[in-house]
Amino acid sequence: MLTKTFFILLIFLNVLITFGQQNNQRLQTVMNTGSQMKGELLWSVAQRPLLCICSSRGDSTILSFYREGAIIDSEVFHYNTSADLVGIFQSGGGKGNLIALWMAGSAYTVTVFSYAQGNVNLVLKKGSKILPELRFPTFDSLEYDILITQMDWVAEKNDEESVFKPTYTIIYRWKRDHYDTLRMGWEHRFASQTKQEIRTK
């Protein structure tokens, strides 16, 4: 059975947040905090979308979540990091989690935010030296599997020197309010997995 597989960078390059400061009130609010606004998007959750604003202050990048229509004193959650934002988009056919890709030096980090009962939650934060990957577990799935691959020094046969190469991949699959996990060899990471094979870590 064919599997829909997407490399995360290609997705992010096509759905990067819209840079540009289109709303003077939002810009002024961010500037009043001493931050520089980098971009914004609306996250469609429940009946009232949240406004997500990415800004920078010194060496920090801040992703803030506000209730739409009331920026001042309406922040419901924020995430701080020293990494740079590569891209961000909403999964679940425009109704699901918010996935963000960050980069610092030669390392990538994926963060996933969920919305439940009026609260924003950081439900996944994983890093890798290799660009993370996304795939749909089934054709009718709305949430992506997130594939995080780890690297290690491996001694090759008939080779005196070790090689830094991918060794294994952890697959994170969304299950309503958390991620279940499955560890697989890197070469087999795109093989089909049944529901029974995906387990809670």
pLDDT digits (tens, 9 = 90+) for 40-66: 888 888 677 888 889 888 889 999 998
Q: What pTM did the predictor assign? A: 0.79
8-state DSSP, 187: G
Task: Count each helix (H run) and each strand (E run) in the chain, helices first.
Answer: 2, 13
Which 8-state DSSP code applies to residue 18?
B
Assign residue 74 a region: left if phi > 0, alpha if psi is -120 to 50, beta otherwise? alpha
pLDDT classification of 36: cutoffs 50, 70, 90: confident
pLDDT in tens, 136-186: 887 777 788 999 999 988 887 776 788 888 999 999 999 989 999 999 998
113-138 pLDDT, tens digit each: 999 888 999 999 999 999 999 988 87
Task: Give first-to-last CA distance, the chain, whole Å.
Answer: 27
Contact 62, 55 (CB under 8 A): yes
Average pLDDT over residues 64-88: 83
Instruction: Choose from 5-14, 72-81, 114-123, 133-142 the range with maximum mean pLDDT.
Output: 114-123
What amino acid is encoded at 185 in this protein? Answer: G
CB 136 within 8 A of CB 3: yes
Half-sphere exposure of 87 (CA within 13 A, CB side): 14
What is the average pLDDT across 90-95?
78
pLDDT for position 28: 54
Nearest C-alpha neighbor of 169 from the set 126, 137, 138: 126
Mean pLDDT of the chain: 78
